[in-house]
Chains A and B, each alone.
Chain A
Amino acid sequence: MLLTILSLIIDAVSYGMALFIISIGLSIMMGLMRVVNLAHGAFAMIGGYLASYALVNLGAPYLIAALIAVVGTIIISIPFELLLYRRIYRKSDSLTQLLLTIGVTFFIIGVMNFVFGPTVKPVPLPSWLSGPVDIGFRMVPAHRIFVVICGALTALALWVLFDRTDFGVRLRAAVDDSDMAESLGIRTDVLYLLTFALAVGLAAFGGVVGAELLPIEPYYALRYMVIFLVVVSVGGAGSIAGALAASFLLGLADTTGKYFMPEYGDFFFYAAVIAIVFLFPNGLLGRESG
């Protein structure tokens, strides 16, 4: 029993970390630009497809492939920011945002499948990640540990970025009062573009790293869209610690349900979501949201 619980926790933590890496970008976007970006999972999917292509067709090493995926996804996403997302920052109502971003999602799914074909894309792991690692009481797949390390590094890097750099100061100023920030000479449109690129890059990175847990397939963007949104809503928009807490909590709810009652599928996950939203309407650690 104790062993089951321990392995459950390991699975939950690695799953939660994968969720965190992808969702934190969405959370940052929602905190600063107030955009409910349903296409966030689609950008993670582009990252997964690019990494798969680099690994399988170009034979690139894993880390290089991940880099190609992140940079490639950011480059692909910039036109979307310039042409579409810009129009819906901060002011428009949630229905407009929902329609536009769900349109982007459908568009990306269709184009990705046109280019890469409608099959599940493997993201093969290198030998140093595919073996098991002995952590004392049981063997753990090395990949799980890698995901956790990536997640922890991401959280740390973001904290440094927001709390210790000039960019972070500007970003926090814009979150608090964008009009004031602009009148003080902060170029908010540039800031938004950079934040968008950061969010998309994180999504792509998470898509690649988490591909073992959330497999890259044609309907990836729709299937997991809900989960990423839920993480942000539960964690509270724009909060790193909130997103971390929410990722673990939801990872735990999902993994527990799948361990003990797999036949119920996502039932417990969504029941937990409803309960948490009602208990913490502004997210676990979120600010007052509009």
Chain B
Amino acid sequence: MSLAPARFGMAFSIPLGSELAALVAVGLLGALGYVVFPDDLAFLTRLISITLLVLSLDLVTGYCGVATLGQAALFGVAAYAAGNACIAGLTNPFLLLLVGMLAGVIAGILSGLLIARFRGLQQLVLSIAFGQLVAALANKLTAWTGGSDGLSGITPAPVFGVFDFDLYGHAAYWLSVGALAVIMAALAAFVRSPFSLTCEAIRDDDLRARMIGLAVYPRLVAMYAVSGAVAGVGGALSAITTGVVGLDSVSFERSAEALVMLVLGGAGHLWGALVGAILFQVFEHYVATSNPYNWLVLVGLMLMAIVIFAPGGLMRGVDLARRRRARRRG
């Protein structure tokens, strides 16, 4: 599949334009969600933490071409780390996000070392094996994870000492929107860095990338560390905002779903990951509750349709339209 090039920021010539655009856009989206679903803030908060997982997957799959079905491990490890830190007495929500981020980085480096070593079938199998290994450990180490009962009793302190994590979920929601906005802005800058561009070169042709002297493996591991940081914030957010961490946060299904969301929106595109994650989850929220199996049929049909009719996802279409318009003008 030819992945859409991720040049969203090219249209802007203001310095830090695309970063500011990301900040403002996510803020506006957050406000929109607040107005449209005022009674469903818990759902939106959950949506944002999963969106961060999808963004992290975009970094390795969309930008580096690593086919992985084990990304949820990074998310889950960070969620457990933040949960344990909170139970141990570190209750400042920002510090907890930092803990999750660090745990995500460590898990990311470990999984990168394993998964980025090979390509193709070996890579896929290793990613699955890593994910399942973490899931088996989470199930076994009940002292840290609560096993199949889940880790509960996570009660972080109020945000800035004022905004409590109450039943209405306002604090949880705005904390999540803020985290997503900051990360989107940071990633908008990151994906235009020389480092990310060389990662895209590796994705497009790793042999040629090696020929021009790129150290492929270390670069992929480094990208995995960044990806782990993003997934880690998502995991920590889910632990903080829901107060529980279950085995589902490291599950194979979570990894597979994240991949589906990514390709729906468009891999190799930050906005693609965002759009895919939002559309998929809102849709799921309304359809899946009626019958999970009908939902599976729909997801299956959707995946087949994307591969055949729209390789590149929804954002690819937006990109093409933009380019056509630019050509007309120029």
CB-CB contacts below 8 Å: A96-129 with B: 96, 98-100, 102-111, 113-114, 118
**Interface check B253, CB cutoff 8 A:** yes
B140 lies within 8 A of A108 (CB): no
The residue in A92, A100, A103, A273 that gathers the most chain B C-beta atoms within 10 A of its C-beta is A103
**Contacting residues, chain A, for B117 (C-beta < 8 A):** 278
Out of B122, B259, B299, B302, which one reaches A281, CB within 8 Å? B122
Given A102-B256, A233-B122, A270-B129 in contact, is the A95-B303 Cβ separation under 8 Å?
no
A237 lies within 8 A of B121 (CB): yes
B74-82, B182-190, B306-314: which lies at the A interface? B306-314
Given A103-B307, A274-B129, A290-B120 in contact, is the A94-B67 Cβ separation under 8 Å?
yes
Closest to A237 in B: B121
The distance from the CB of A225 to the nearest CB of chain B, in whole angstroms, is 9
The distance from the CB of B262 to the nearest CB of chain A, in whole angstroms, is 10
* Alpha-carbon separation in the docked complex, A218 to B253 (Å): 14
A107 lies within 8 A of B122 (CB): no
A230 lies within 8 A of B129 (CB): yes
B1 lies within 8 A of A95 (CB): yes
A277 lies within 8 A of B140 (CB): no
**Contacting residues, chain B, for A98 (C-beta < 8 A):** 67, 69, 124, 259
**Contacting residues, chain B, for A267 (C-beta < 8 A):** 133, 136-137, 140
* Alpha-carbon separation in the docked complex, A25 to B52 (Å): 38
**Interface check A75, CB cutoff 8 A:** no
A265 lies within 8 A of B140 (CB): yes
**Interface check A166, CB cutoff 8 A:** no
Out of A107, A118, A274, which one reaches B126, CB within 8 Å? A274
* Alpha-carbon separation in the docked complex, A267 to B139 (Å): 10
B307 lies within 8 A of A100 (CB): yes
**Contacting residues, chain B, for A102 (C-beta < 8 A):** 256, 259-260, 303
Closest to A271 in B: B133
**Contacting residues, chain B, for A226 (C-beta < 8 A):** 125, 128-129, 132, 252
B293 lies within 8 A of A113 (CB): yes
Query: Which size class do B's interface residues fall under?
Result: 35 or more
Closest to B139 in A: A265
Out of A118, A270, A273, which one reaches B293, CB within 8 Å? A118
* Alpha-carbon separation in the docked complex, A205 to B95 (Å): 55
Given A267-B136, A281-B118 in contact, is the A110-B296 Cβ separation under 8 Å?
yes
**Contacting residues, chain B, for A99 (C-beta < 8 A):** 259-260, 263, 303, 306-307
* Alpha-carbon separation in the docked complex, A264 to B67 (Å): 27
* Alpha-carbon separation in the docked complex, A267 to B250 (Å): 14
* Alpha-carbon separation in the docked complex, A87 to B263 (Å): 18
**Contacting residues, chain A, for B311 (C-beta < 8 A):** 96
Residue interface mask A251-283, B partner, CB < 8 A = 1: 000000000000111110011011001100100
**Interface check A222, CB cutoff 8 A:** yes
CB-CB contacts below 8 Å: A76-96 with B: 84, 87-88, 92-96
The distance from the CB of B23 to the nearest CB of chain A, in whole angstroms, is 30
Closest to B1 in A: A96
* Alpha-carbon separation in the docked complex, A197 to B303 (Å): 23
* Alpha-carbon separation in the docked complex, A106 to B252 (Å): 13
B297 lies within 8 A of A114 (CB): yes
B133 lies within 8 A of A36 (CB): no
B125 lies within 8 A of A233 (CB): yes
The residue in B114, B119, B293 that gathers the most chain A C-beta atoms within 10 A of its C-beta is B293
5 further interface pairs, Cβ-Cβ under 8 Å (given A87-B308, A264-B140): A99-B307, A237-B121, A266-B135, A266-B136, A267-B136
Nearest 6 pairs of A and B residues by beta carbon: A103-B303, A107-B300, A110-B297, A106-B300, A110-B296, A267-B136
